[in-house]
Amino acid sequence: MTETRYDRAPGDGFAPANVEEEPGSGVLIYTIGLLLAVILTAISFWVANTSLLWAPGVSLGLTALAIAQMGIHLVFFLHVTTGPDNTNNVMALAFGVLIVVLVVAGSLLIMADLNESMMPAELMNLHMQH
Amino acid sequence: MNVNVALKEDVRPEARTIASEAGPAPKRIVVGYGFWIFLLSDIVMFAALFAAYAVLAHATAGGPGGAQLFNQVSVAIETGCLLASSYTCGLMSLAVGSQRRFRTYAAAVVTFALGAAFLTLELREFAGMIAVGATPQRSAFLSAFFTLVGCHGLHVTVGLIWLAVMMLQIAVKGFRATVERRLLCFSLFWHALDIIWVWLFTVVYLMGVHS
């Protein structure tokens, strides 16, 4: 008997969809995900409100925490793994992340650059009077 | 049935055909993958709204800024609601997988209630902001804020309607393959909304209050 091995649908659990998982193992995975997400969220709120940390680094820290929590959600809730049956899902996700990074970082970079090279307000007023 | 499953599990990995030689994949995998692509395109749309917000975050035109408007306690409760509803949605997909009707309904009701609580808190926040004159017309910052957060809220609303429709379908049609595929898509949608909310509370609320 040869068994065909298909890719896994995104969102399906760690066992293939038609195989009965041990009762409880699925619940355990979601519960671990929930606990980790709650911990990361609590740290995020603490970081934003504490005065103990170096203020300019807080935004960077919050971004890192959000990326970590996104990873937790992807692995424990959406079941995206590095397994060979998940290659298609991961490739699509990687492309999505690429576009998101290009759009967000590109917009911020271009707009910051534009603001930088903008004529100062008082010069602009002089210019308009002539 | 169980014997069959045990046999399938015993097949050694090297005896299996690889995915590219296996022919068309089952419909569940094709549908799930297609919906995954849709979700990623939806996330790209949110990325554009996030970029607009980040560029305009300081363009308050002399109006109120994030630090005056945002209430962190309400945001924390909203975050808790959405995270817990994502968890119960996961429990629901487990119950659907093992075709347990009562557990499915129970998890769906909790998911719906938590999602509705999130939406109520968000609408109350919007109403409070509009009451103090912080309307979308006030400044570019507020336009971007209402577009971004409102778009997420709209997605949650659609998700709640979808969940109610799915419960009706289970009641009428039972656990058919079509209904199970739709429930798979719903849980993907709901978890993706939670990922977007993680970025929302980080970028809009926490960074907004901090700076």
pLDDT tens sequence across A9-47: 887 765 544 444 555 788 999 999 999 999 999 999 999
**B194 to chain A nearest CA, in Å?**
8
One-letter amino acid at B138 equals R
Write A49-57 long-range contacts (CB < 8 A, 24+). Answer: A49/B72, A49/B209, A55/B210
Within 8 A of A27 by CB-CB distance, chain B residues are 91, 94
Q: Which amino acid is at A2?
A: T
Distance CA B112, CA A49 (A): 31
Please tell me the pTM assigned to this model. 0.86
Q: What percent of chain B has pLDDT over 90?
A: 75
**DSSP-assigned beta bridge partners for residue A4:** B17
Confidence grade of residue B18 (pLDDT, cut at 50, 70, 90):
low
Whether the Cβ atoms of residue B52 and residue B147 lie closer than 8 Å to each other: yes
Cα separation, A34 vs A72, whole angstroms: 9
Query: pLDDT per residue over A87-103, tens digit each?
Result: 889 999 999 999 999 99
Q: Which residues of A, range 65-124, sit inside 8 Å of B by Cβ?
A: 65-66, 69-70, 73-74, 77-78, 84-85, 88-89, 92-93, 95-96, 99-100, 103-104, 106-108, 111
Can you say whether residue B159 is alpha, beta or left, with left for phi > 0 and alpha for psi between -120 and 50 degrees? alpha
Query: What is the structure's pLDDT at B141?
Result: 94
pLDDT at B5 over 50: no
Nearest-angstrom CA–CA distance, B135 and B61: 13
Give the pLDDT score at B59.
Answer: 87
Spatial separation of the C-alpha atoms in residues A10 and B188, rounded to whole Å: 8
| Closest alpha carbon to A62 in A33, A83, A40 | A40
Q: Please answer yes or no on whether A1 and B7 come within 8 Å at the CB atom.
A: yes
Residue tagged 């075709």 (tokens): B99
Of B74, B207, B110, which is closest to residue A59 (Cα–Cα)?
B207
**Average confidence (pLDDT) over A109-123:** 83
